[in-house]
Homo-oligomer: A and B are copies of this chain.
Amino acid sequence: MEQKKDRRIRKTRAQLQNGLAKLMKTKSINEITVKELVDEVDINRSTFYLHYTDIYNLLEDIENRLMDEILRVIDSHKNVTDGGLLSIFTDIFTIIDANRDICSALIGEKGDMAFVQRMEDIIASHGVHDLMNQFMLPERPIHYMISFSMSGCIGMLKEWLSTENSEPPEYMANVAYNTVFHAFKAFYNGYAVCLC
């Protein structure tokens, strides 16, 4: 889809994206001005407006790149029948590990809730069927269970990103998968006695 375009375009946008990621490590997104960013990466301010409308539009572009990457890898083995959720988790943790800087900014203290929401939606829409097939669960309260699990995974992710030299992506994918799996299983078994 995305044409490769002019080399200058690719270079400029990469500079701006990396520059924003760098600035976001020192201050929150709302404090970052266009002028400050273009000074940082030594690009003319007019050039910025040639590509983006404002800082948030640039951030959107960065998020889209990440999302595209994740979606592409997920799609690449969607025909795998079993272990769907585990392999999706592995993919996501791996990609995030490769983009640690920007991801810790996006998911951290001064992060972007909309991005987190998109992440949750992706996991939910691609991974939940896997669990639905294993447990026959009633429609109603399962909604809360899904929200719980997806946000829970983000929480693990957040914790993982906040520590240096942390566990490898594969380990994290395992922990996340097992936790969600057991949570669903417990929910399934305990549903009749504890809820409603």
Contact = CB atoms under 8 A, between A and B. Distances in A.
Contact of A187 (B120, B151, B179): B179
Given A111-B113, A183-B182, A190-B182, A148 B144 contact: no
Nearest to A141: B175
Interface string A117-136: 10010000000000000000
Interface residues of A, number: 45
A185 interface: yes
A178 interface: yes
Contacts of A149: 152, 155
Interface stretch (A7-15, A73-81, A95-103, A156-164): A156-164
A109 B117 contact: yes
Interface in A148-196: 148-156, 158-160, 174-176, 178-179, 182-183, 185-187, 189-190, 194-195
